[in-house]
Amino acid sequence: MSKNLVKQGAEARIYTTSFLTRTAIAKERFKKAYRHPTLDKKLTDRRLVQEARCLVKCRSIGIDAPAVYFVDLENRTIYMEYIEGKTVNDLLADGSKITAEESDELARKIGEALAKMHAAEMIHGDLTTSNLLIRDANNSLAIIDFGLSFITTCSIEDKAVDLYVLERTFLSTHPHAHHLFLTMLKVYGESYDSGNSITGKEKKYGWLG
């Protein structure tokens, strides 16, 4: 099958390809030459499986995320749904195109999705506006790129750090949209029982600290 390189990061290459007649994303993890081959395969397999599990769990609890089609451990690749849409990073690149009402709605979607994810004891590990996507089809917020994710009994600190990573993205890339982050944080804090404890911890490091 043909593959077209879309992105190359520190851990993986992202391609568009086809899978059983459907347009798909193929995420192929690199071999790490500095690691022993047996250890490298063991760690890579673990990351691939963990990423797939987090994607499947997200969808099972009502969080929009790419559907997993196939996990190819031999070739270090996950095949998943290709989502037509625009990242929050792109949407915020020109703030003049987003009305106050649209900004509040976007903040609500992000806050509710992240609260649901953390309530299910999932940590994303790389929450940036480039990993939040609005689907063209139905305007749903999808969370993507779970390459650093894990499922565990997460501490308040783990979840606060997840939010802090997102705040740093807003601070460095979208300083004009800091109000959107603060609205998102408020929605997050109101959306599940531990939310206010987590946002309280995050605020010690962020804008409201």
- The 10s digit of each residue's pLDDT in 23-43 is 999 999 988 888 888 998 999
Full-model pTM: 0.91
| Percent of all residues in the chain with a pLDDT value above 70, rounded to a whole number | 94
178 forms bridges with which residues in the sheet?
none
| Alpha-carbon Rg for the chain in angstroms | 17
Distances (CA, A) of 175 to 96, 178, 182, 201: 13, 5, 12, 21
Residue 25 has a pLDDT of 97
**What SS3 class is residue 31?**
coil
pLDDT digits (tens, 9 = 90+) for 156-204: 888 999 999 999 999 999 998 989 999 999 999 999 888 788 887 776 6
pLDDT score for 208: 44
Q: How many CB atoms lie within 10 A of CB 23?
A: 12
Q: Is 126 one of the catalytic residues? A: yes
* Alpha-carbon span 21 to 47, nearest angstrom: 27
Average pLDDT, the chain: 91
Query: For position 192, what pLDDT does the model report?
Result: 87
Asked if the model's pLDDT at residue 86 lies above 80, the reply is yes
Catalytic, out of 126, 158, 162, 193: 126
Q: Looking at residues 96-114, what average pLDDT do you find?
A: 92
Structural domains for the chain: 4-81 (3.30.200.20), 85-203 (1.10.510.10)
pLDDT at residue 209, as a whole number: 43
The answer on pLDDT for 78 being more than 90 is: yes
